[in-house]
A and B are shown apart, each in its own frame.
Chain A
């Protein structure tokens, strides 16, 4: 009977394609929007992800994220270094500035000062040149998003001069970094040079990056640092989560994406529900005849379920493929750099599709089950 059910559905091509389209569109909308949402909010943690060597981030007790921080006195570095279990500790500066390019364009940038000696604080990979270029006078490393924002395609930023708060800076390398939430241009330089580039208050150090000694768990170390220094210390994972939470709590992004995901669900229910009902209505005589002949309600349920499953399988597959195509198609765009589909997202959309089909299938099935076999004689 399942074969008959599938043929009944696929034989009505208009409705079959309508149902598949409804599910595919709904899946695409839910999967794509959730993927963008997850990747966008994860950008709130990009500052942490870009410094994989630091086990612990130490900051003023009011600092919340890499971008929302309150500078500490330089003595904080010594305090942290004195904590047992700290293998190494380096200063880290993060500040905003305006930069004027050689063409006279003005651009807001993030300036990140990394440790002079070890260069800890730089992204792990370089797109062009090596981290050693920071040894050159006035040198800065720009992130790859910045190259597309500040320079035209084909124009190399290497060697380009910038005016950074009335001081000269020369781009000597390009870092392969995860863009920030706002995709702002980021310039990396040595900590001592960054202090000159970014005028500020008496206290300038944003963070102390810490490496834990062998055998010391980062979580244990954070507790120890807080206890002994009074500073806030977060493990890498905790601080990354803080960045994500900050975006979720302080922007309308979850609500906006939530609305779009809900719309995807509603559109799915509407299209699939309507088309499924029309399909059932058009075949109600056939279902009635089957019931009269002696097909049980259980088998009828199985038939409708198999029809829903087929539509769901094809539609869901197309929707997920569409999302993959979207992410792949835009992968070269800096805004979408590093975007990926978390494994949970297709599962969420699969659950949504299952719910849509269960809901619409149940509504359609009600009409079939309500149909009296005797109606075929009327």
Chain B
């Protein structure tokens, strides 16, 4: 049994370092991050701009190679996989909620939500039916036929959540889910995420610097200059 599986962790990072080249210079964005994220928890990754949280989340979900270190997601050393295996792993195990939603503007909401299932090879109509069911769960069952530009920001956010969950991934990754929403809508989205995304066998990581929703986290990891400086159930006093 390997790292994450052995410890019961959903995600396990070992000495993860990431460098970026900037001209002649090499900038180290992450400095040997050791981290374990448990399933069944709503985990926040918090930090200022440039702290490395986007880089860390990208590495944790298998879309950016670390310069050094290992990453295991539900027991799979994802950077030991071939490119094709890694893409397939992401498709089957990870759900993404992007800050800008990145919905396809010319297909309706249900089809947008069905994209991961279609990518898995499921029949389009069957995939759409499952997406509609997920959207009904998210209380936007009456918006299935609308194009993204006919939906409000909150509704688009829910479609993005439906897309992230429709294929029942074991890891859900959210990038600034409340950045574009007012306080009330932001809390609603977080309540919704807790209700639908957090499960015993599923990990949910949220990258945010929205202090309005810090109280909703089960665990908060603070990242400063590429290092984890705080790991607790609430934000440290000095933040």
Contacts and interface: CB of A to CB of B under 8 A. Distances in A.
A289 B105 contact: no
A51 B88 CA distance: 71
A377 B177 CA distance: 12
Interface string B91-122: 11010101110111111000100011011000
A57 B96 CA distance: 79
A377 B175 contact: yes
B102 A376 contact: yes
Contacts of A10: 106
A288 B111 CA distance: 18
Interface string B194-211: 000000000000010000
B156 to A, nearest CB: 13
A3 B124 contact: yes
A299 B104 contact: no
A367 B94 CA distance: 25
A8 B102 CA distance: 13
A153 interface: no
Contacts of B163: 293
Interface in A280-299: 283, 285-286, 288-296, 299
B90 A4 contact: no
Interface string A355-378: 000000000000000001110111
A158 B203 CA distance: 96
Interface hub of A3, A285, A291, A294 (most chain B Cβ within 10 A): A294
Contact of A292 (B84, B90, B100, B207): B90
A372 B61 CA distance: 13
Contacts of B63: 291-292, 372-374, 377
Contact of A294 (B100, B102, B103, B116): B116
Contacts of B100: 285, 376
Interface residues of A, number: 27
A12 interface: yes
Contacts of A373: 63-64
B58 interface: yes
A278 interface: no
B106 A299 contact: no
A377 B90 contact: no
Interface in A258-314: 283, 285-286, 288-296, 299
A329 interface: no
Nearest to B147: A11
B192 interface: no
Interface hub of A7, A8, A292, A293 (most chain B Cβ within 10 A): A293
A294 B119 contact: yes
A1 B119 contact: yes
A11 B106 contact: yes
Interface of B: 54, 57-58, 61, 63-64, 84, 87-92, 94, 96, 98-100, 102-107, 111, 115-116, 118-119, 124, 163, 175, 207
Shortest 7 CB-CB contacts between residues of A and residues of B: A11-B106, A294-B91, A289-B102, A373-B63, A374-B64, A374-B58, A294-B90
14 contacts: A4-B104, A4-B111, A11-B105, A11-B107, A285-B100, A290-B115, A292-B61, A292-B96, A293-B119, A294-B92, A295-B119, A376-B98, A376-B100, A377-B57
